[in-house]
Structure 1
Amino acid sequence: MDIRKIDDTISVAPQISVEDVAEIARLGYRTLVANRPDQEEFGQPLMSDIEAAARQQGLNWVYMPVESGNITDHDVDQFAPMIRDADKPVLAFCRSGTRCTVLWALSAARNSGAEEIFTKARNAGYDITPLAPRLAQQAQHRD
């Protein structure tokens, strides 16, 4: 399992397994967010199995599937309040962690500056600098 901390409220990870969920809970995460659609790739675990494991471990579960490479403003509009209101810390996962990072970055742009967002993403191992125009657009929607 490759958990990458963005900040004290959220970390991201590539695809997790059902067996990883107990360790996620042991590490202190309170909410588990799946941003990957079921059956996106042959052989990936069923989200319902991960959800059952999460609930068994006392984690809050959020299934918010987003199509890879096609994150819409509607997706950001759903992600922003979910992250704001979730029990923290949150662990969000998808195929590689990039989709979750992009969702976080676009929602964070409503309250934080681009350089801070780029730095946090870079420190977690994700280069999101090509998102600069979308971050500027999202900054127009400050809370």
Structure 2
Amino acid sequence: MDIRKIDDSISVAPQIAITDVSEIARLGFKTLVANRPDREEPGQPAMADIEAAAAEHGLKWVYMPVESGNITDADVDQFATMIRDADTPVFAFCRSGTRCTVLWSLSNARELEPQDILSKAQQAGYDMTGLIPRLLQHASKR
């Protein structure tokens, strides 16, 4: 399992296995978020099975699938609300962790400076420079 910490409230990862859920709980995460659609690709674990494992290990489950390359402002707003209300720390996953990082980046653009967002994402191994126009757009709504 490839866990990438963005900040104290959230870490992201590529697709997890059902057997990873116990380790996620053991590490102290409180909320498990799936940003990947069910059956996006063959062989991917079923979200219902991951949800059942999350319940078994006392994790709050949030299924918030978004389409890769097509993250809308509504998706960002939904993610921001979820993070604000979630029991932290949050563990979010998708196919590669990028969608989760995009959602986190854009949902924080009204609070953090774009350079801070880019830096935190980069430290987690994700290049968000392609988001600069959208980050600035969201920042202008402060």
Task: Show the counterpart of 1:83.
Answer: 83
Q: TM-score by structure 2 length?
A: 0.98
Task: Show the counterpart of 1:116.
Answer: 116
Please report how far the alpha carbon of residue 140 of structure 1 lies from its aligned counterpart in structure 2 after TM superposition.
3.0
Q: Which amino acid aligns with 1:35?
A: N
Task: Show the counterpart of 2:33.
Answer: 33
The separation in 1 between residues aligned to 2:40 and 2:68, in whole angstroms, is: 9
Task: Show the counterpart of 2:101.
Answer: 101
The separation in 1 between residues aligned to 2:66 and 2:103, in whole angstroms, is: 9
What's the RMSD between the two structures over aligned residues?
Answer: 0.6
Task: Show the counterpart of 1:70.
Answer: 70
Deviates more, 1:106-115 or 1:133-142: 133-142
Deviates more, 1:132-141 or 1:1-10: 132-141
Task: Show the counterpart of 2:130.
Answer: 130
Please report how far the alpha carbon of residue 137 of structure 1 lies from its aligned counterpart in structure 2 after TM superposition.
1.1
Report Cα offsets for 1:61-106 as digits up to 9, x if no partner: 0000000010000100100010011000000000000000000000
- The runs of at least 4 consecutive aligned structure 1 residues that moved more than 4 Å come to none
Task: Show the counterpart of 2:46.
Answer: 46
Please report how far the alpha carbon of residue 141 of structure 1 lies from its aligned counterpart in structure 2 after TM superposition.
3.5
Q: How many residues align?
A: 142
Task: Show the counterpart of 2:21.
Answer: 21
Matching of residues 54-65 of structure 1 within 5 Å: 54-65=54-65
Q: Which amino acid aligns with 1:33?
A: V
2:31 aligned with 1:12: no
Please report how far the alpha carbon of residue 12 of structure 1 lies from its aligned counterpart in structure 2 after TM superposition.
0.2
Report Cα offsets for 1:16-36 as digits up to 9, x if no partner: 010000000000000000000
The separation in 1 between residues aligned to 2:141 and 2:30, in whole angstroms, is: 28
The separation in 2 between residues aligned to 1:110 and 1:55, in whole angstroms, is: 33
Deviates more, 1:120-129 or 1:133-142: 133-142
Give the secondary-structure state (helix, strand or coil) at the position aligned to 2:7. Answer: coil
Q: TM-score by structure 1 length?
A: 0.98
Q: Which amino acid aligns with 1:73?
A: D
